[in-house]
C-alpha cells in the first residue's frame, strides 16, 4: 500500500471504435515515482489507453484524474496538464532529423513556449 495519493487515477474507463471495444472497464493507479510499462499484444488497447491519458482520444465512460485534475472537466486547460505528462510510443512518427532527446522534448518545449 502507498502512503501517497495516486498521481494518475484511471477508473472504469471504456472506449470503443464502432463495434470494437478497445478499453473495457480499465482501472489503474500510478503513484509518484512509480515507473509503469504497458505491454500486450497488438490491438489490446495499449496505445488507446495512453492516448486517453493525454486526452488525444476521449473516453466513452469512466474517469481519468491526473495530478488532481479531472481530464473531462470542461474547465480544465488540457495543455497545462499535458505539460506535465510524457508518453513514448514505438515508431510513433518521430522526426528522423532530430535526436531521441530532441524528439522527446519537442512537445514540452513547444507547450511552454521555450526558445
Contact 11, 63 (CB under 8 A): yes
Q: Which of 48, 46, 85 minimizes the C-alpha distance to 65? A: 85
Q: Is the pLDDT of residue 1 over 60?
A: no
Beta-bridge mates of residue 23: 15
What is the distance between the alpha carbons of residues 89 and 38, in angstroms, rounded to a whole number? Answer: 11
Which domains can be identified in the chain, with CATH numbers? 8-111 (3.40.50.300)
The confidence score (pLDDT) of residue 114 equals 82
3-state secondary structure of 60: coil
Q: Whole-model pTM?
A: 0.72
pLDDT tens by residue, 23-82 = 999 999 999 989 888 888 988 999 899 889 888 899 999 999 998 889 989 898 888 887
All 3 cell numbers of residue 103?
A: 524528439
The confidence score (pLDDT) of residue 2 equals 59
Query: pLDDT category, 89, cuts 50, 70, 90?
Result: low
Amino acid at each position: 500500500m502507498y502512503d501517497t495519493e495516486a498521481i494518475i487515477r484511471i477508473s472504469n474507463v471504456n472506449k470503443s471504435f464502432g463495434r470494437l471495444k478497445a478499453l473495457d472497464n480499465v482501472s489503474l493507479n500510478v503513484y509518484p515515482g512509480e515507473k509503469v510499462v504497458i505491454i500486450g499484444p497488438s490491438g489490446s488497447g495499449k496505445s488507446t489507453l495512453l492516448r486517453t491519458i493525454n486526452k488525444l482520444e476521449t473516453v466513452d465512460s469512466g474517469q481519468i484524474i491526473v495530478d488532481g485534475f479531472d481530464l473531462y472537466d470542461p474547465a480544465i486547460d488540457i495543455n497545462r496538464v499535458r505539460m506535465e505528462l510524457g508518453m513514448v510510443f514505438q515508431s510513433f512518427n518521430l522526426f528522423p532529423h532530430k535526436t531521441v532527446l530532441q524528439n522527446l522534448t519537442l512537445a514540452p518545449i513547444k507547450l511552454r513556449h521555450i526558445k
